[in-house]
């Protein structure tokens, strides 16, 4: 059982690596980090601030786009192109397929983030000429970004299991945007009453809380991040991904393949 | 079917469990997230930049920032913080994105102008905010009211206040009390009744909970101030007539032919100190009183009340 | 033990946008396939052949009924280790090479790592795909893809193989090779279940066939048995304008065209007709079968169902 999941995961990784779109996006993200260098030169003191902020935001945004586009391809595209037929006619359980795909995609994004992170550190080195102690916290911000990606991957898989590639991409991206405003959604829920309050509160808690996972601003200002927060966020990402994946499995188990 | 059923049951269990855990985790995370990060590092402090970043969805972003402004202030006010650095930028961004978001101006008038811990202590900025609002909402009489409000309460510039109230009363469909306020401002600016009029107007014309609460506290405080002033005058008269300080307020009540010792808006009787000062029994219950507090008194934690005084 | 036992498998789809109406793609099907035989699943396009295969593969869930494959419930995932499937017009991960694809599929089918490399080479040889190392599948021709499909179906040495239109996309040489391969598989003791709408292939290979039309089973049996009930016809052409009486006695339908006579009579009368011409010393020009016997059977079954379509539900 676990061997099959690993095989599916590594095949997915191989697929992602050979997908040319990936390289374009990575290159773009690295370029953007470079652009941050020029933007930062506008004001001497905030060079570092701009590089970290812009660089990490670029990593986050591009990673999400990559996660969504490749993630959607995972199931939707396979069903459309019927490559799934010969896979499922083998002793592969449908849930193994979903889980294997998830790990393959997650692995891809971790590697991605690694390379994009190098771009950010490179840009930082260029403007600051040396690293300071607090710069290590950029790694924490990158780690949280990877956690965001895990959630997005799981959501992309969830939507792929029942929806067309285009709709899945739209849903996933919308949830990313809404999730980034999760705090405001909670605040908004606090201001409403009655039925609207229930709906808003429910939505606010079900939507993935990306604002909790976004510490880019804090890291740019060289503030410390507590260990408790790191642990809780890790747990949250795992739990949320499990939620989306179990939903995907439930749906996919029942799906009649055209 | 058997393995499929097993998978279904297992997946459903995982789904339910993870849903519950994610909600619980979120609540916990909210508690441990450092609030300073959330509050004071507003990276985008420039309204123009926010507007461009909104990609045209100004209205939506205005709502987002308005929600944040209310949360920000409410949270800090409850903790009796002494600084509200981000309130002005939040309100400025809100109104820059949507100049017609009227509650924002009112909020600014009530909470930007007063000194900490009741406000940000930035009356000049509040005035600029309202003037911007008047520019973009010339048919709104409430703006003039809010502006005059600031001049009266914080800057004590009664002449300017009168001017503004008068201007406002000329707006079509303006509330009649603007005219009254303009007139009263000129002559009896420092009267208790004037202040009472102003704060009653604020209370009645707003539906924002924070503002009404604030207005009500002020009205209670005015009542106490008035009572203390009157009682103090009575003590002075007593001293003049009898050549000594009264031993208790009973003597005052007798001298003035009152039915009993006067009570504060909570029904607690006023007290008399040994050196003839009239004092309110529980000054902490009246956040805005200026009279009747013992020497060296410092206000304690904020308390909220629900009943208006019976004037 | 029957290799495949289909017990009342049925599939009804709901079609339509707002008000969904039921469309029965497969009526309750009862069918057995014995071990070691080559079984042909025939029918025109849209008859429900692919639906049946997809249900057996677990890609589609039946509305009713069940099946057993190699003695086990058809939904048992372990049974899949012993079957191979070639879908119609197969698609594969086009960013992989044939070697990588087969290696991946081998992993999924549980072929041990030690044997995999060897087996992949072996099966590629067998389907005639040489010199494809390092070439991504996106560059393969239709015929090459078809061969790859066959390769992945037999890679793990399954006992039972399902082919959906195995000859499609192949040139005549390729079709011959696949025919030989299917026979080889039978020789190795495997059971082959293949669906097709090309009758000549079925006639050449199959031990037994089933005919499906509009979701309904129209006939099952060994080819000789089925075709015994229906006769093909032959066309006999001879020189001259004479029509012997014996020809007419055979029930021939004769036409004179210029200097030749064409007669159409049942296949079984073929030899009697030749004798008649020889006795009359008439010159035989040609004998042409007008229909193969299986085709005749097929057509008759389809026509029959069309006329009874009104009465059937």
Q: Chain C window 45-74: which residues touch B at a Cβ cutoff of 8 Å?
A: 73
What pLDDT band is residue C309 in, cutting at 50, 70 and 90? very low
Torsion angles phi and psi, residue C9, rounded to 5: -65, 135
DSSP A74: I
Give the chains touching B; criterion: ≥3 Cβ pairs < 8 Å: A, C
What pLDDT, on the 0 to 100 scale, is given for residue B44? 53
User: Count of alpha carbons within 13 Å of A79, Cβ hemisphere only?
Assistant: 21
- Cβ-based contacts of C76 with chain B (< 8 Å): 3
Strand arrangement of the beta sheet that strand C216-222 belongs to: C83-86, C160-164, C191-196, C38-42, C208-213, C216-222
Which of A3, A19, A86 is closest, CB to CB, to C87? A86
CA C39/CA C160 separation, integer angstroms: 11
Predicted pLDDT at B311: 40
Residue of C nearest to B4 (CA): C75
Model confidence at A145: pLDDT above 50: yes
Q: Is C227 left (phi over 0), alpha (psi -120 to 50) or beta?
A: alpha
Q: Is the pLDDT of residue B203 over 90?
A: no
Q: Do C109 and A11 touch (CB under 8 A)?
A: no
Q: B276 or B301, which is more confident?
A: B276
> How far is residue B97 CA from its own chain's centroid?
24
User: Facing residues of C234 across strands?
Assistant: C265, C289
Q: Which residues of chain A have a CB within 8 Å of the CB of B21?
A: 235, 239
Range scoring the smallest mean pLDDT among B44-53, B216-225, C90-99: B44-53
And the tokens for C190? 């495997």
Note whether A91 contacts C83, CB cutoff 8 Å: no
Residues of B with CB under 8 A from a CB of C: 1, 3-4
Chains touching C (at least 3 CB pairs under 8 A) are A, B
CA distance C143 to C170: 5
- C284 token code pair: 């035989």
Instruction: Name every residue whose Cβ is closer than 8 Å to that of residue A111 and which is 6 or more positions away in sequence.
Output: none
CA distance linking residue B203 with residue A85, whole number of Å:
70
Nearest CA in chain B to A49: B43
- Band (pLDDT 50/70/90 cuts) for residue C174 is confident
Kind and range of the H or E run holding C249:
helix C245-249
Which of the pair, B182 or C150, is modelled with greater confidence? Answer: C150
Are residues A127 and A40 in contact, defined by beta-carbon separation less than 8 angstroms?
A: yes
What is the C-alpha separation between B274 and B240, in angstroms, rounded? 17
Strand, coil or helix: A224: coil
**pLDDT reading at C69 higher than 90:** yes
pLDDT per residue as tens digits for the range A85-127: 999 999 999 999 999 999 998 998 898 888 888 888 888 887 7
Tens digits of residue pLDDT in C129-143: 888 888 999 899 888
What are the helix (H) ranges across chain A? 2-18, 20-40, 47-72, 78-81, 84-88, 94-128, 137-160, 165-180, 182-191, 194-206, 216-220, 227-254
CA pair distance B102, B95, nearest whole angstrom = 8
Is beta strand C216-222 parallel, antiparallel or unpaired with respect to C64-69? unpaired
Chain A residue closest in CA terms to B11: A246
Instruction: Kindly report each contact of residues B49-55 with a partner whose C-beta sits within 8 Å and lies 24 or more positions away, as own/partner.
Output: B50/B93, B50/B96, B50/B97, B51/B96, B51/B97, B54/B97
Average pLDDT over residues C201-222: 88
Peptide bond into B117 cis (omega under 30): yes
Say which residues have a Cβ less than 8 Å from residue B176's Cβ, sequence separation at least 6.
none
- Write the residue in A82, A84, A90 that is nearest to C105 by C-beta: A90
Q: Any idea which of A215-219, B178-182, C292-296 has the lowest mean pLDDT?
A: C292-296
Least confident span in A91-100, A222-231, C200-209? A222-231
Helix (H) or strand (E) holding C24: strand C21-34
- CA dist., res. C41 & res. C50, Å (int): 10
With bands split at pLDDT 50, 70 and 90, how would you rate the model's confidence at C310? very low
Residue C9 distance to chain B (closest CA, Å): 15
Q: Apex CA C100: angle with CA C95 and CA C104, to 5°? A: 105
Q: Measured between beta carbons, which residues in chain B are less than 8 angstroms from residue A253?
A: 4, 7-8, 11
Tell me the mean pLDDT in the region A66-71.
82
Q: Which helix (H) or strand (E) holds C284?
A: strand C284-289
Residues 6+ apart with CB under 8 A from B236: none
Q: ipTM exceeding 0.95?
A: no
pLDDT reported for residue B84: 82
Question: Which residues from chain B sit within 8 angstroms of residue A255, using beta carbons?
Answer: none
- Averaged pLDDT, B197-224: 82
Chains A & B: contacts with CB separation below 8 Å:
91
pTM: 0.72
What's the mean per-residue pLDDT of chain A? 83
Helix or strand (DSSP H, E) at B59: helix B58-78
Asked if the model's pLDDT at residue B276 lies above 90, the reply is: no
Which one of C62, C75, C78 would you mutate to disrupt binding with B, by most B Cβ within 10 Å of its Cβ?
C75
User: Could you tell me the two tokens for C269?
Assistant: 């009368």
- B77-126 pLDDT, tens digit per residue, is 777 777 788 888 888 888 888 888 888 888 888 888 888 777 888 889 89
Residue C230: Cβ within 10 Å count: 16
Q: Report the relative pairing of strands C260-266 and C21-34 from DSSP bridges.
A: unpaired
Q: Are strands C216-222 and C260-266 parallel, antiparallel or unpaired?
A: unpaired
Of B157, B161, B193, B156, the residue nearest B178 (C-alpha)? B161
For C69, phi and psi rounded to 5 degrees? -120, 120
CB C95 within 8 A of CB A81: no
pLDDT band at A158 (very low <50, low <70, confident <90, very high): very high
**Does residue A48 carry a pLDDT above 80?**
no
**Burial label, C53 (beta-carbon count in 10 A; 0-12, 13-18, 19+):** buried
Residue of C nearest to B3 (CA): C76
In this predicted model, what pLDDT tens digit does every residue of A57-67 receive, in sequence order?
A: 888 888 888 88
User: Does the beta-carbon distance from C76 to B3 stay under 8 Å?
Assistant: yes
The winner for highest mean pLDDT among A7-11, B284-288, C298-302, C303-307 is A7-11
CB within 8 Å of chain A, chain B residues 47-66: 63-64
B134 touches chain A (CB under 8 A): no
Q: Quick one: DSSP state of residue A133?
A: G
Mean pLDDT of C20-35: 88
3-state secondary structure C30-99: EEEEECCCEEEEECCCCCCHHHHHHHHHCCCCCCEEEEEECCEECCCHHHHHHEEEECCCCCCCCCCEHH
> Which residues lie closer than 8 Å to A72 by C-beta, 6 or more apart?
A156, A159, A160, A165, A168, A169, A172
Tokens found for residue C283: 């010159």
CA-nearest residue of chain A to C56? A89
Write the DSSP assignment of C118-163 as a string of letters: HHHHHHHHHTT--S-TT-BGGG--HHHHHHHHHHHHHTT--SEEEE
Q: What is the mean pLDDT of residues B151-173?
A: 86
Residue A221: list chain B partners with CB under 8 A.
41
pLDDT at A95: 92
- Report pLDDT digits (tens) over C85-98: 999 888 888 889 99
B301 in A contact zone (CB under 8 Å): no
């Amino acid at each position: 059982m676990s061997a099959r999941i690993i095989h599916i995961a590594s095949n997915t990784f191989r697929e992602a690596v050979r997908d040319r779109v990936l390289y374009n996006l990575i290159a773009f993200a690295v370029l953007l980090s470079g652009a941050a260098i020029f933007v930062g030169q506008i004001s001497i003191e905030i060079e570092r601030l701009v590089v970290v902020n812009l660089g990490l935001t670029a990593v986050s945004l591009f990673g999400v786009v990559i996660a969504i586009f490749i993630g959607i391809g995972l199931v939707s595209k396979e069903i459309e192109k019927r490559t799934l037929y010969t896979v499922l006619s083998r002793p592969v359980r449908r849930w193994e397929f979903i889980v294997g795909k998830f790990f393959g995609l997650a692995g891809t994004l971790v590697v991605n983030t690694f390379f994009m992170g190098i771009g950010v550190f490179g840009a930082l080195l260029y403007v600051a000429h040396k690293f300071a102690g607090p710069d290590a916290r950029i790694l924490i911000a990158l780690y949280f970004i990877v956690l965001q990606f895990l959630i997005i991957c799981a959501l992309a898989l969830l939507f792929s299991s029942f929806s067309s590639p285009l709709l899945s991409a739209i849903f996933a991206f919308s949830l990313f945007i809404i999730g980034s405003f999760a705090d405001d959604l909670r605040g908004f829920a606090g201001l409403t009453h009655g039925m609207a309050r229930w709906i808003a509160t429910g939505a606010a808690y079900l939507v993935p809380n990306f604002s909790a996972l976004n510490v880019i601003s804090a890291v740019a200002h060289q503030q410390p991040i507590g260990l408790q927060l790191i642990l809780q966020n890790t747990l949250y990402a795992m739990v949320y991904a499990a939620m989306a994946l179990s939903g995907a499995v439930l749906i996919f188990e029942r799906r009649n393949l055209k | 079917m058997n393995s499929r059923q097993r998978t279904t049951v297992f997946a459903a269990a995982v789904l339910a469990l993870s849903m519950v855990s994610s909600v619980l985790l979120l609540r916990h995370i909210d508690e441990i997230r450092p609030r300073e990060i959330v509050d004071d590092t507003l990276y985008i402090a420039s309204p123009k930049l926010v507007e461009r970043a909104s990609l045209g969805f100004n209205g939506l972003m205005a709502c987002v920032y308005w929600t944040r402004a209310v949360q920000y202030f409410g949270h800090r006010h409850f903790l009796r913080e002494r600084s509200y650095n981000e309130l002005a930028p939040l309100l400025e961004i809100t109104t820059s994105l949507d100049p017609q978001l009227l509650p924002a101006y009112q909020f600014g008038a009530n909470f930007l102008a007063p000194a900490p811990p009741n406000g940000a202590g930035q009356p000049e900025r509040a005035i600029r905010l309202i003037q911007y609002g008047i520019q973009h909402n010339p048919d709104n009489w409430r703006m003039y009211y809010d502006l005059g409000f600031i001049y009266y309460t914080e800057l004590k510039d009664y002449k300017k206040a009168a001017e503004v109230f008068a201007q406002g009363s000329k707006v079509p469909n303006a509330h009649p009390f603007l005219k009254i306020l303009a007139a009263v401002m000129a002559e009896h600016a420092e009267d208790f009744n004037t202040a009472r009029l102003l704060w009653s107007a604020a209370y009645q014309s707003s539906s924002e909970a924070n503002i009404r609460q604030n207005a009500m506290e002020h009205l209670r405080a005015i009542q106490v101030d008035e009572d203390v002033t009157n009682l103090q005058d009575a003590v002075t008269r007593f001293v003049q007539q009898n050549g000594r300080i009264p031993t208790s307020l009973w003597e005052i009540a007798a001298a003035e032919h009152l039915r009993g010792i006067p009570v504060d808006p909570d029904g607690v009787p006023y007290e008399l100190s040994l050196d003839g000062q009239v004092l309110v029994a529980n000054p902490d219950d009246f956040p805005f009183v200026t009279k009747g507090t013992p020497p060296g008194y410092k206000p304690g934690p904020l308390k909220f009340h629900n009943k208006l005084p019976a004037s | 033990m029957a290799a495949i036992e289909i017990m009342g498998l049925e599939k009804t789809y709901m079609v339509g946008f707002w008000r969904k109406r039921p469309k029965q793609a497969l009526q309750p099907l009862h069918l057995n396939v014995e071990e070691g035989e080559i079984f042909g699943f025939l029918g025109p396009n849209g008859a429900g052949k692919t639906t049946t295969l997809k249900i057996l593969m677990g890609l589609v869930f039946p509305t009713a009924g069940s099946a057993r494959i190699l003695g086990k419930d058809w939904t048992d995932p372990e049974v899949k280790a012993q079957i191979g499937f070639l879908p119609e017009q197969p698609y594969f991960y086009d960013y992989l090479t044939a070697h990588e694809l087969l290696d991946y599929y081998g992993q999924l089918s549980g072929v041990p790592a030690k044997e995999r490399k060897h087996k992949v080479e072996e099966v590629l040889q067998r389907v005639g795909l040489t010199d494809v190392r390092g070439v991504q599948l996106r560059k393969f021709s239709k015929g090459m893809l078809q061969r790859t499909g066959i390769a992945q179906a037999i890679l793990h040495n399954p006992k039972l193989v399902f082919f959906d239109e195995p000859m499609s996309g192949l040139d005549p040489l390729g079709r011959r090779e696949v025919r030989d391969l299917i026979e080889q598989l039978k020789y190795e003791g495997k059971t082959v279940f293949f669906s097709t709408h090309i009758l000549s292939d079925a006639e050449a290979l199959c031990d037994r066939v089933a005919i499906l039309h509009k979701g309904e089973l129209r006939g099952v049996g060994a080819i000789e048995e089925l075709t015994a009930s229906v006769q093909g016809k032959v066309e006999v052409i001879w020189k001259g304008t004479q029509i012997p009486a014996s020809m007419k006695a055979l029930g021939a339908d004769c036409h004179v065209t210029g200097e030749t006579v064409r007669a159409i009579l049942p296949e079984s009368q073929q030899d009697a007709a030749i004798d008649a011409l020889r006795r009359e010393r008439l010159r035989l020009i040609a004998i042409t079968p007008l229909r193969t016997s299986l085709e005749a059977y097929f057509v008759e079954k389809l026509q029959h169902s069309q006329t009874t379509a009104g009465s059937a539900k």
